[in-house]
């Protein structure tokens, strides 16, 4: 793909996240064009629609890349099919249902000379890079994460998210972990977790994590899908020089009580600009650190039963 070329995109999976975030970002960036969708139950007026990726590939429709917005449980199979067909691949978060299934995709992408991008939209929030710069030279003492939202608002009727591989409350919680693994100067690792499962579901509705680093960091995270009031997406980092707090999922940055930054988020615009640059260069960008922490939580986590979810 030459720098001046148009990147022709197909969206695979035309659900809530595709409609809420991907479509607007694609439409607003010069050099990107949506040329097809693939979904067995949904379509867009004026855009060629197919019931599956396989049907799209068989149609002969010209396109360069796919954005996989399907449930995570089927994403690896679809990514492999697209890469074998010579397409660049953008993976919504989480990149897959398991950690190990991503390595073969990365090997396939490199063998085909195609780009594979495991996107973490929250890393593109406006407070993230300033926080990363400020923390680079500070001695960090503690981290406290609170990530609370109402599952009925953000995932209405999405049964797949409660199935194995759907992650449950870690679907939003992994956003916090993607920020954490970007802003801290030292890697962290989990030391324990409590996972709260509704009696009628196969994925947790809440989770409490404990983590540390090589220097004895005191870290904790609380994820919960049960609150029905305003969302609380907050990361507080206590250092020897004072505290930094990321609020609103990355919209605001405070040092102590002083507001340093407050900006609207345009995360998916940034994702697609980055993906287009990767496609031009044929490079890959796949960081699995947030997914590794989720996998570790399931390895270490104590399972606790709570009331059924209805």
Residues 6+ apart with CB under 8 A from 54: 81
Place of tokens 């809420």: 20
* Torsion region of 227: left, alpha or beta (phi above 0 gives left; psi -120 to 50 gives alpha): beta
Active-site residue identified among 16, 87, 93, 265: 93
What is d(CA 175, CA 211) in angstroms, rounded to the nearest whole number?
Answer: 16
309 secondary structure, DSSP code: P
Q: For 284, phi and psi rounded to 5 degrees?
A: -115, 155
Both structure tokens of 137: 């030279």
Q: Which residues pair with 247 in a beta bridge?
A: 252
Active site residue 93: yes
H-state helical runs in the chain: 16-17, 23-27, 53-59, 75-84, 102-112, 128-135, 151-154, 170-183, 267-281, 289-300
Rounded to a whole number, what is the distance in angstroms from the first to the last CA of the chain? 48
Place of tokens 């379509």: 43
Q: For the chain, how big is the Rg over CA atoms in Å?
A: 20
Place of tokens 């197919």: 50
Both structure tokens of 1: 């793909």
188-198 and 206-213 as β-strands: parallel, antiparallel, unpaired?
Answer: antiparallel
Catalytic residues: 93
């Amino acid at each position: 793909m030459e720098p001046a070329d148009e990147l022709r995109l197909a969206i695979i999976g035309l659900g809530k996240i595709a409609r809420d975030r991907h479509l607007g970002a694609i439409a607003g960036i010069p050099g990107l064009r949506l040329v097809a969708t693939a979904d067995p139950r949904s379509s867009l007026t004026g855009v060629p629609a197919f019931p599956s990726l396989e049907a799209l590939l068989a149609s002969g429709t010209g396109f360069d890349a796919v954005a996989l917005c399907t449930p995570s449980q089927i994403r690896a199979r679809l990514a492999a099919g697209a890469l074998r067909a010579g397409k660049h691949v953008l993976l919504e978060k989480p990149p897959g249902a398991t950690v190990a299934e991503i390595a073969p995709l990365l090997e396939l992408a490199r063998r085909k000379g195609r780009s594979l991008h495991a996107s973490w939209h929250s890393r593109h929030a406006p407070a993230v890079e300033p926080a990363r710069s400020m923390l680079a030279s500070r001695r960090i003492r503690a981290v406290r994460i609170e990530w609370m939202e109402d599952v009925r608002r953000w995932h209405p009727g999405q049964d797949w998210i409660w199935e194995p591989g759907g992650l449950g409350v870690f679907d939003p919680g992994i956003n916090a972990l993607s920020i954490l693994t970007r802003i801290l100067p030292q890697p962290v690792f989990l030391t324990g977790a409590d996972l709260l499962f509704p009696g009628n579901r196969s994925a947790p509705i809440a989770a409490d994590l404990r983590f540390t680093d090589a220097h004895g960091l005191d870290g904790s995270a609380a994820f919960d899908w049960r609150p029905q009031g305003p969302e609380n997406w907050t990361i507080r980092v206590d250092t020897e020089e004072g505290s930094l707090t990321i609020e609103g999922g990355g919209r605001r940055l405070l040092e102590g009580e002083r507001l340093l930054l407050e900006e609207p988020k345009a995360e998916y615009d940034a994702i697609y600009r980055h993906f287009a640059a990767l496609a031009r260069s044929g490079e890959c960008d796949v960081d699995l650190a947030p997914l590794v922490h989720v996998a570790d939580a399931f390895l270490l986590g104590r399972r606790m039963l709570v009331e059924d979810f209805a």
